[in-house]
Amino acid sequence: MTPEEIGAKLTEALGTLDGLGATSATGATVSESAGGPFARATADVPAERWVEAVRFARDELGCDFFDWLTAVDELDEGFSVVAHVWSTGQKHGVLLRTRVPREAPAVASITGLYPGAAWHERETHEMFGLDFPGFAAASGLTPLLLAPEFEGHPLRKEFILASRVAKPWPGAKEPGESESGAAKRAPVRPPGVPSPEEWGPSAAAADPAPGAED
């Protein structure tokens, strides 16, 4: 099926209009992604219809292969949760998206539909702090990539990168690091991260190895 045909089926199933012809708060907004011949039908659905939309893609659109799931930090607008599923038989894909609030972000788990989503939901939980009620895997939403003692969610935009404190960042990434003339923002050291003079190359240069002066 073409993205247009898939979009029509999504619209018919999930609905975009209420009985008066106005946009429904519980309906899906269907569009088409960029990418030319690789474009995908894309459905933005309310969080409460997330599992319903994923189930429709699997059962009615033949998307038997779960590809990936992740999140995007949209700052004050919360977090977008995005998943891509694929039909191995009909060779088409579908992008599904929803939005959750920044305060207590959560969306129902789809591990009951696609067990392969477990690692992706664990990673998204770890990196963004999103919860997935109904997570079906026995492991639970345990850390997947980071050490158990790691604090914070490193893909949130407010997370401070320790590497930016320890060494200069390449490129004009901060105010004052370009020709804009804006004042440069003072580096902020995350809690628990020692000063560059206390560890790393700077500390090693300032503290000669034993016997070096002999």
The whole-number average pLDDT for the span 88-102 is: 95
Euclidean distance between CA atoms 154 and 94, whole angstroms: 28
Q: Residue 36: its pLDDT value, please?
A: 85
Confidence bin at 190 (pLDDT 50/70/90): low
% helix, strand, coil for the chain, step of 5:
25, 20, 55
Q: For all residues of the chain together, what is the average pLDDT?
A: 82
pLDDT in tens, 15-52: 753 433 334 456 788 888 988 888 899 999 999 999 99
Contact 106, 131 (CB under 8 A): yes
Q: Residue 203: its pLDDT value, please?
A: 56
Answer yes or no: is pLDDT of 105 > 60. Answer: yes
Q: Residue 13: its pLDDT value, please?
A: 86
Contact 129, 150 (CB under 8 A): no
Strands of the chain (E only): list them.
Answer: 29-32, 41-44, 65-73, 79-87, 92-100
DSSP β-bridge partners for residue 92: 87
CA neighbor of 188 nearest in space, from 162, 155, 152, 170: 162
CA angle 106, 111, 113 (to 5 degrees): 120
Euclidean distance between CA atoms 101 and 5, whole angstroms: 31
